Structures are given as structure tokens and as C-alpha cells.
Structure 1
Amino acid sequence: MIFPVALLGAFILLPVTLGSEECHKNDTQLLKCHTDLQNERLEKYAKISKWQQDYSELLRQLMDEKDKYAELHSKQQEVDNLKALIHQQSEEIELLKDHIRELKEKSELATLTNKLSTDIDKFGEIVKAEGVLTNQQAHINNQTTPKTETIDFPDSCPRSQNETRVIREIKLPGSDPFKVLCYSNSNLGSRWMNVYAKEFISRKFNGTYEDFESGFGDINTYFEFFIGLNQLHRLTSGKPYEVLLLTNGNEKRCDNFVVGDRTEGYKVKTISNCTGDAWLAPKLGSKFSTFDRDEDGVPDHNVAKELGYGWWFDPDMSTLNVEFHYLIMFIRRRD
């Protein structure tokens, strides 16, 4: 009975022994499988790391492309803005061309207007001369008739007046009637016509050449008016006149005073036998100058613009900066 039991024990132990060896074999395989799996995982991890690096590189390239695109877009925007500016400037150039054409047309119109004014002046002189000849012929043809006084050129201001100021309306040959202010006092006498009256601060006297040519202001006021260059020319050219200038209580009087016409720049053609010390007295040959028509003869200066009023300026007045309370000019018939 011992043998079977031993044999049975042997059979029992044999599988155990055999099972233990198989188990060791399985552990080895399992370790190998684990090692293979780790190697496979490492390979996959390496691939994933490579993919991540490739992705990062692609992402960097995409960012670079994005920056380049943004830069190109900015440059394109600059080009578009430049095109818009060029288009705008082209439109402005066309507007300037139109403005230049308009100015040329106005300049041609002004030239024609000046020529027409000159022709009117000449026509007025012809009419005046014809009137004088007609009166002389009538006097010759009627020597047997009673002598009557013929006024071919009106005496603008009365020879004697009791009032300090008298307003009269006169009509010169070839012109419309206009009003004048006649002034008289015990010191100056009578028959003085006030033709220029400016206060120290005056906006009216900073007018254009055309303003001074036609005259401006209210004749009923003592200050702030000018008779007009055209009327002053007609008056002084028709009959002999003297001139009186008052500034800040000083006065200057000249026996002869003649102003030319528009073609001559309304220059002082005659002024002589002057006495007194009033400054700003017009000089012989000086032309009338305004801010928009510089006739003072002073290089690189516009005295009328700098001082703010129109006058017969000359080179000696280029540095004149004297404050005055008033500037008044009178003329008076000498016949």
C-alpha cells in the first residue's frame, strides 16, 4: 500500500513541478511581452514627439505666414489709401484748373472794365471840351445881346457861408450828380470842400482800390468818408484848386493841386507852393495806393496794407508809424 501511495504522491508532485516550470516560462514571455510593449510604446512616443515637433514647426510657419499676410494687408491698405489720396488730389487739381480759368475770365473782365472806365474818362473830357467850345461859339455869335454868366464848371462851395458845414449837390460834365461837404470857419475861411476825413481807428479806409475810386461814407458826418478818386480828378483837373491837410492840429497848405485819372494811377500831377508842417502830405508824382493795389514804390513793402488805409504814399513813408487822431483833406477853388 505504500507504493501506490508513493506513486500517487509522485503523480501529484509531478504536475506541481511541471506546472512551476511552465509558470516560469510564462513569466519570461510576459516580461518579454512587457518589454516589447514598452519598446513599442517608446517608439510610438517618439513618433508622437516627432509629430508634435512637426506640428509646432507647422504652427510656427503658419504664424509666420499670418504675419506676412498681415504685413501684405497693411501694405495693400497703404496702397489703397495712396490711390484714394491721388484721386482726391486729382479732383483738387481739376478744381484749381477751373478756379484758374475763372480767375482768368475775371481778369479779362477787369481789364475790359478798366479800359471802359478810361474810355468814359476820355469821353467826359471830350464832352467838357465840346461844352467849352459851344459856349465860346455862342458868345461870339451873340456879342450884341446882353452878357449873361455861363457856368461851364460849377463852383462847388459858396464863396461865403455863415454855417460851419453846408452840403451841396453838384454835377460835373460827363458824370452823375453827387454831394459835397463845404466847410468854413474864422481861421481857415470859406469855400473849403472836405474830400477826405479819417479818424485814427477806421475800418472803412482799409477798403479796396475800387472803393476809393468811387468814394464811400456818409457825407452828413464830419468823419469817415471819401469823395472818390474819380470825382477828385474831375474837380482838380477842371479848375485850379489849392489843398489843405490837417493832422493832429498841424496843417499844410499848397496853392496848386491836381490829381490824374485812372490811367495815371490817380497820381499827384501838381502840388506846389506848400507851407506848414503836417506830415503825410502827398508828394509830386505819388500814386494812390491801397492794400490790393500797391503803388507806393517801396520795394518789398505794401505801406497801405501795413498802415491799414489808402493814401498817396511814397518811399519816404515806408517806415512811418505815427499815431494820429484824424487826417482831413480839404480842397478849394482859387478862381
Structure 2
Amino acid sequence: MDTDGGGWTTIHTRFDGSTDFNRSFSEYENGFGAVNGEYWLGLKYIQELADKGTNEIRLEVTSKQDEDYFENYKDFKLLNGSDYVLSINPDTAESYPVLTNGFLAFAYLKGYPFSTFDRDMDAWKDNCARLERGGWWYRDCGSMNLNGEFCEYSCDHKTYSVEIGYYVYGFADSKQLKTSRMLIRRYAK
């Protein structure tokens, strides 16, 4: 409740790799994990919360070297019914620190539906969710994956030169993350 003025609802949290995020579309839609552990709230519940007003989303990550990074966007929604298309306003983006490549990883995924290994909705020639071992709003693989495979040090099974696992492109040399959280809250326009 102390983060950036408080009022946030946590919709995703990871910190030790104890929960497998390589799940089916149904599991991502309905949610999994435990509130006192690692979890994903569920796409249908996230969509319902976001439909109740004007919302912002915040993504926070920590590297294995204890470096912190966040991205924050206003006007967050999940569109197109059960496709759960990511809608955010990149013009409202805040991030800290600025990534070495100047890239906003989550903004790159705007307009893409949620994909899992059993429901390939990305724009790439292969199934990003299968390759990266976790459901996400993939475009063409490789910008960010907070639901990817949690590897102790690094995932050494790259495919097609795509980063594999749990990372944000351009942060901590695109290496594996230590923790992540996704939060949403309402705001007044």
C-alpha cells in the first residue's frame, strides 16, 4: 500500500520459482497459485477489475543483482473478450531507470492478445508461449516475459536467438529476474 501513493491490487507476483507459470489458457484465465506465495490472479478477474473504471498498471521487477526497475501505464484494459488484448496508453509511460536501449518493453506488446502453449495468439512464426515456457501478451517473443520459466541463473536453451525465461529486454542485460509484481489501481482522469 506504500507503493507510489498506494491503492494497488496485486495481480501477479513471483519471487522464488516455487509456482510453475507454464500453464494452459484455462489456468491463466481462471488464475493459479496462492495469495501468500507466487500467483496469477486470472485474466477474467483482471479484466473485470479493469472494466470497473479508469485504471493504471505497474510492473515492478528486481534483478538477481538487486537492481529495481518499473514501468507504469495509464488507461489499462484487457479488450476483445476472451482474447484479453492488452490496452495501455504508451504516452503516459513512466519507467525507472530508463533502460539501456531506451525501450519500453510492455508498451511494445500493446494490441496483442494473451497467448499460452495451447492457445497461440502471437504474431511470430512459432509459439512464443511454448518457447518461453509461460503465458504472456507476446508479439514476436523477446521484449518481456514476467510469466516465463524461472531459471536459477539463466536459461541456457535459447531458440531462434530468442531470450528464454523470466526477463525484461534491456534491463540487467536481459538476464533472469529475481522477483516481479504486477499491480493495478483506479485513478481519476
TM norm structure 1: 0.41
Q: For 1:112-154, what per-residue CA distance to the aligned partner results, in whole angstroms no more than 9, with x for missing partners?
A: xxxxxxxxxxxxxxxxxxxxxxxxxxxxxxxxxxxxxxxxxxx
Structure 2 partner of 1:310:
135
Partner of 1:267: 85
Q: Which residue of 1 aligns with 2:42?
A: 228
Q: Identify which range, 267-276 or 232-241, moves more after superposition.
A: 267-276
Aligned residues: 147
Contact preservation (8 Å) 1:291, 1:310: yes
- CA 1:323–1:213: 2 relative to 1, 3 Å: same
- The Cα of 1:333 is off from its aligned counterpart by 0.7
How well do the aligned residues superpose, as a CA RMSD in angstroms? 2.2
Return closer, same or farther for 1:258/1:269 CA change in 2, 3 Å cut-off: same
**Structural mapping, 1:1-335, within 5 Å:** 184-185=1-2, 187-199=3-15, 201-219=17-35, 221=36, 223-248=37-62, 249-263=68-82, 265-272=83-90, 273-276=92-95, 277=98, 280-281=105-106, 283-299=109-125, 301-315=126-140, 317=142, 319-321=162-164, 322-335=175-188
- CA contact 2:128–2:140 (8 Å) conserved in 1: no
Partner Cα distance (2:47, 2:4) in 1: 23
Cα distance in 1 for partners of 2:80, 2:16 equals 28
CA contact (8 A) 1:245 1:251 kept: yes
Query: Which structure has the larger Rg over C-alpha atoms?
Result: 1
Q: Which runs of 5+ in 1 are unaligned?
A: 1-183
Secondary structure of residue in 1 paired with 2:9? strand
Higher relative contact order (CA 8 A, sep 6+): 2
Q: 1:326 to 1:256 in 2, by over 3 A?
A: same
1:211 is paired with a residue whose SS is helix
| Structure having the larger proportion of residues in strand | 2
Distance (whole Å) between structure 1 residues aligned to residue 183 and residue 120 of structure 2: 24
Deviation at 1:293, TM superposition (A): 1.1
* TM-score normalised by structure 2 residue count: 0.69
Higher helix share: 1
1:204 and 1:224 in contact (8 A); partners too: no
Q: Counterparts of 1:292 and 1:271 in 2: how far apart (Å)? A: 29
- Fraction of identical pairs, as percent: 24
